[in-house]
Structure formats: structure tokens, C-alpha cells
Amino acid sequence: MNKNLFTYKKSGVDIRAADKFVNFISKISSEKKGKKKFDNIGGFGSISNIPQNIKDPKIVACTDGVGTKIEIANMINKYDTIGIDLVAMSVNDLIVQGAKPLFFLDYISINKIDLPKLKSIIKGIIKGCKISDCDLVGGETAEMPGTYTKGKFDIAGFAVGIVDKKKILHKKRIKKNDLILAIPSSGLHSNGYSLVRHLIEKKKINISKNNFLKKELIRPTKIYVNEILKLINKDLIRGCANITGGGLADNIKRIIPNNLCAEIDLSKIKTLEIFRWLKKNGIKDNEMLKTFNCGVGFCIVINPKSLNDVIKYFPKEFKPYVIGEIINKKIKVKLNDKISWFQ
């Protein structure tokens, strides 16, 4: 019998290729970083410092993926932005609690190591970490032939942050007559892609030949970390919500105290072209509202007196604007009117 008949490589797993990828991550994650705290990449675990200037530190942890947006990346053969999405989906949840992201880990599972593809994904993850001012401290790459078909893969992210106990954004901070501000999204972010892909399939649209969709469907998720943390440090926020799966109503109601209600005027929402396109191509209002962010990527609840101070912390493209207020009702969220889709 041939002694080389049974090898890990012949079963579909190439350890040498995986080692090359780890070396690449170690090199690129340490570039332009200044004094490196710990050499974590390639070890069995990651070590990080806890900031010393926090009196009563609390750890906050989040995990998420990018859903079937990875299928769009496969369709147009573009992988350098979904890593940004991966970081955004977790760190945008962290800041809802008032936490500053400390570090991030990734998990990539793929049918076969594809170095160019994986390098592009990691470059996006590192860029997302840089925007979020957190460290990529480790992760895992799993080569899984038989589980994933040719070219298929999935990614997941894990973020850990820290917040001083007195700065945690509890529901009890929110008061009657507080304003609800919408912060614009950059586009679809990373939710609702199964519905988008279903529409594209039924309409027989070739994304590769549609420049508008090719650009919009891969556009990375806006990371709100820098702006929100500045507001938290200035004590200008009473509550906030990351608008992801479930849309505006389902995410806002998660932060509203039981004795209060969020009253939102949908006609004030400034929609983006991609949502107008989806509406035009047959997705009904109710389905839009419960599936997509519809142009509102993040919401903050503030004292009305703080409005002018809050707005100045945002660039023009992501200036917050008022869409509602907190009222004294028993229902959780009251939506008035319909979105002006062609605003």
C-alpha cells in the first residue's frame, strides 16, 4: 500500500497554506501600530491590557456575522470590504451599551484555503479595527472540505469592549420628551441580503453588469464608534440603538423603558437610493420597515437641549436629525405615517 495515500492534504486540508495565511495576518496586523503590546497572532490565546483609567470597569462582549452579504462578494468577486462589515456589526452593538471596543477576533470557515481571497477579507477586518480604534488580537481559519462547496465560506466576528459602570447606557436614563435622532446609514449595511438576493434572482438581474447594484450591495457598513464614544464621554447621550435585523421599530423598542414609548414620524426619514430601488422593484412598505434600516443606521436618544452640541460631532454625510420623541404611552413604539421613499 502507498504510504502517502492517506494525508491531510489529500483529504482537502492544506496546513502549509494555512500557516502562510497566519504569517500574513501576523505581519499586516503589526504594521503602523507603533509599540506592540503583545505578540498574539499565531498563539493559542490572546492577551490584552485593561485600561487603567477606568474606576469601575465592566466588560461587554458581542458577536455577529455579515449574513448572506458574503454571497454578493462571491458574485462580484470582491472581498476587501466585507471585513469592515464584520467588525462594524459587533462594535456598533458594543457602543449601544456605552462600551469602547478593546479588541476583535475573527473566525473564517472555507472549503479550501484561498490566499488572495482570505488576504482581502483580513485587510478589511484590519481596516475596520483601525476605524474602531481596537486591536485584531487573533482568530481562527478553518478549512472544511465537504462542509462548504467550492468557493463557499462564512465569517464571524467577536468584539470585546469596556465601559465604566457609571457610563453604562441603561434604559432608566431615557426620559419623557427626549428627542430621537436618526444617524444615516451608508446603505444596506449587512441585513436583509437574503431578501435582496431573492429579488435579484426573480428579476433575473446580473449584478456584475449593473454598476449601481454592484456598488451599493457591497458598500461597507458605517462604523459609528468614534462619534458615539465622543458623545458618551461628553454625557450627551441617554440611549442609543443599532438598527439591524428587525428594522427601526424592533431595535428602538429594546432600549425604551416600560412606562414610555418612542413616537417616530416615518415621513421625516431621509431614505437612500438603494431603498428607493428596492421599493420600486416590488418590496412593500411593511416588509421594507421590518427587514432593512431604510436609511437609518443608528439612533440616539438625547435631551432636547443637547441637540446643537450633538450634531457638531458628525461629518456632513452622517449628520443626525430628529425623527421622533419619547412620550408617555404604554405601547413600545408608535410609527406615524409612511416613509417618503422618494425624498
pLDDT tens profile 174-230: 999 999 999 999 999 999 999 999 999 999 999 999 999 999 999 999 999 999 999
Question: What's the rounded mean pLDDT across residues 293-297?
Answer: 97
Q: Which CATH class is domain 171-187+222-336?
A: alpha beta
* % of the chain with per-residue pLDDT over 90: 72
Question: What's the rounded mean pLDDT across residues 241-256?
Answer: 94
- Does the pLDDT value for residue 34 go beyond 60? no
Query: CB-hemisphere CA count at 13 Å for 318?
Result: 20
Cell of 212: 449601481
Of 16 and 301, the structure prediction assigns the larger pLDDT to 301
pLDDT at 17: 62
Residues 190 and 72: beta-carbon distance below 8 Å: no
Specify the domain boundaries for CATH 3.30.1330.10 within the chain.
15-45+55-167
pLDDT at 24: 61
Residues 302 and 206: beta-carbon distance below 8 Å: no
Beta bridge partners of 263: 325, 334
Q: Closest Cα to residue 114, out of 24, 49, 216?
A: 24
Specify the domain boundaries for CATH 3.90.650.10 within the chain.
171-187+222-336
pLDDT at 50: 82
Architecture of domain 15-45+55-167: 2-Layer Sandwich (3.30)
Question: What's the rounded mean pLDDT across residues 48-52?
Answer: 81
Find which of 11-25, 29-43, 266-280 is predicted with most confidence, using mean pLDDT: 266-280
In this predicted model, what pLDDT tens digit does every residue of 137-174 receive, in sequence order?
Answer: 888 888 888 888 998 999 999 999 999 999 999 999 99
The alpha helices in the chain, defined as continuous H runs, are 15-29, 69-76, 82-94, 115-132, 193-202, 211-216, 225-233, 247-252, 273-280, 285-291, 307-311
